[in-house]
Structure 1
């Protein structure tokens, strides 16, 4: 339970005419929120719903306050304010410092008293753990890995040897950080594996979703900079470099040695070819296929839009005819130019 005064203090704003002692137990959507719940309005299209709202408090912009029948807090960005307050209502169970009897922690590990290691976890030799680190059940932390302060590693995560995480990182369940990159040299009779001699280095405040795979580098490290956010089921191949504050949505795949700038966004299922550079502030819509370097900031899209199957089949056939059609157009243009030139000579 928190009070409206607590919320205002957390946001650094004033409760205005509202009663600062109002108690709130949670956050709910605007149309469902009751007298002990917080709601928010982030867009003008929801103002009609605001008029019948029953929430205990609403986060909104000052120009919308006149339409609000319940107590409110005025903020410049209601959605950002909601994000900042959400942690006050989080039901995440508190971690218990110490090592669970069912866990294994090597004697060489530097383990702060504030750290928590869950049942079935394995922490190998020479690992360094920061203050308030939480290692969930069944996590494997490989030899020589380093985890900064307040990192939380959810159940089933595997951190290979030598992996480095900065402060305040989150790695969700069943992600694998530091597996071998896909490095092989062709032999006459098959493939020769290339030992992956680099590691993975992750900055501060990086949030990694469930089922993510980030491969270790072949020679240099794979690098994930500060404040990057990565959704579920993403694959980042060896030696990729991801710039600060970049956001990567679910099912994105990045081939090896891709270099991504700062403040980029990748929507779901974007595919990125390897050995290319992407500048700062480049944004890719869903299922875009990035096959070349991106030098200019902006939004990029590709792919075939959804269509009825019969229409799609006809278009697919025509797509296969484009090369022949283009050649015919070039020949026709050449003939027209020749005819035009001949007409000019006759004048």
Structure 2
């Protein structure tokens, strides 16, 4: 089967479910969602940015999502759904599409699952094969616990939250409604806390937990450590990519998003509506205000309170040029001192 293909659907069904202004045959059958380049006559695609207009004009897609001003560029014979924000429409279409394609979860507890004492599992929830649910844990309405996943004692999983297979969701941790945690994630491992004593390290027990709000996505193999004393907190709508490290006592504001391999050191406070490019690093005990956007691979070494885009990456170059520029940069303070001395000599 072609990737992304599902049972055929009419354009009329899509517009009925998601809205938009249809131009063309409402009985046209769509079998998959595709990029403009790979689309064929039974595919639906979208134009998110004007700079891709040449791809729109050359596409073979049977239907495209476009803004009204792009409608004249739709190839002859293709249908179009006009919407103010094609990318947002595409996002909602993927969820609508997957809901039709995905097999319904088998409601109930698999016979191989291990269920502790005093556990509350809603009758509409799903607990997969070989899952382990600790004592007094609560699994909410329509929640899904994947196979081989462990939910610790006294943990709470909110309604319609999906935890994939092989996730460790630690004791006392909580996640709200409609969340997603992908495979390999570890929620509520001990934070990195040790006290130095006579040349060795004494462990500091981590007594807090992890509190996750509603509509939060946690990527594969991402780790969120429990707090040392206070909790580690992710507010509503936070989106974390794969392979991210969130250290103990970190607080992340609503609808902040982080790309893969970001690292946030302990007790950092991050505001709402922020974005962090891949491999960005935030040092501990810093404060990042609302609406701050950090470029990929940047290292944040001091607090940032003013909204805006910040970059801290030495630009890539051929190695010879990079070494010369780096060597010059190392001498910058000396050059500054010499320049000031010269200014004093020539200034009356």
Question: TM-score, structure 2 length as denominator?
Answer: 0.92
Pair 1:85 & 2:93 matched: yes
Which secondary structure does the structure 1 equivalent of 2:233 belong to?
A: strand
- Matched residues in 2 for 1:93 and 1:107: separation? 31
1:22 CA displacement: 2.4
Shift of 1:326: 3.2
Q: CA deviation at 1:191?
A: 1.4
2:90 partner SS = helix
Distance in 1, matches of 2:38 and 2:199, equals: 65
String of CA shifts for 1:109-130, please: whole Å, max 9, x gaps.
Answer: 1111211111221111111011
- Indicate which of 259, 263, 277 corresponds to 1:249: 259
Counterparts of 2:297 and 2:103, CA distance in 1: 37
Check the 8 A contact 2:154/2:172 in 1, yes or no.
yes
Contact 1:287 1:302 in 2 (8 A): yes
* Cα displacement (A) at 1:15: 2.6
> What is the match of residue 51 of structure 1?
57
Aligned partners of 2:131 and 2:149 also within 8 Å: yes
Answering whether residue 300 of structure 2 is matched by residue 290 of structure 1, we say yes
* Displacement of 1:184: 1.4
- 2:64–2:81 Cα contact (<8 Å) kept: yes
The 2-side partners of 1:273 and 1:244 are apart by 20
Aligned CA distance change for structure 1 residues 121 and 324 (closer, same or farther; 3 Å) = same
Alpha-carbon displacement from aligned partner over 1:167-217 (angstroms, at most 9, x marks no partner): 000001101011111111111231121111110000000011111011111
* Aligned partner of residue 226 in structure 1, secondary structure: coil
> Counterpart in 2 of 1:276?
286
Asked if 1:214 corresponds to 2:224, the answer is yes
How far residue 233 of structure 1 moved from its aligned partner, in angstroms, is 0.6
Q: How many residues align?
A: 337
Contact 1:25/1:89 (CA < 8 Å) preserved in 2?
Answer: no
Equivalent residues of 1:10, 1:85 under 8 A apart: no
Instruction: Using the TM superposition, name which of 6-15 and 237-246 deviates more.
Output: 6-15
Residues 14, 218 of structure 1: alpha-carbon distance in 2 compared, 3 angstrom cutoff: same
Deviation at 1:13, TM superposition (A): 2.7
Residue 37 of structure 1: aligned partner: 43
Separation in structure 2 between the aligned mates of residue 254 and residue 63 of structure 1, nearest angstrom: 42
* Residue deviations 1:16-60 (CA, integer Å, cap 9, x gap): 5x3323222210112322222211112223333333433232111
In the aligned structure 2, how far is the partner of 1:61 from the partner of 1:80? 11
Consecutive unaligned residues in structure 2, runs of 5 or more: 1-7
Residue 344 of structure 1 corresponds to none
Could you give the per-residue CA deviations for residues 238-276 of structure 1, whole angstroms, max 9, x where no partner exists?
Answer: 111101111101111011111111110000111101111
| Paired residues for 1:152-163 under 5 Å | 152-163=162-173
**Does the aligned pair in 2 maintain the 1:62–1:74 contact within 8 Å?**
yes
- 1:345 aligns to what? none
Cα distance in 2 for residues equivalent to 1:48 and 1:269 = 33
- RMSD over equivalenced CA pairs, Å: 1.6
Write the distance in 1 (CA, Å) between the matches of 2:115 and 2:284.
38
Q: TM-score, normalised by structure 1?
A: 0.92
The CA deviation at 1:94 is 2.8
1:307 corresponds to: 317
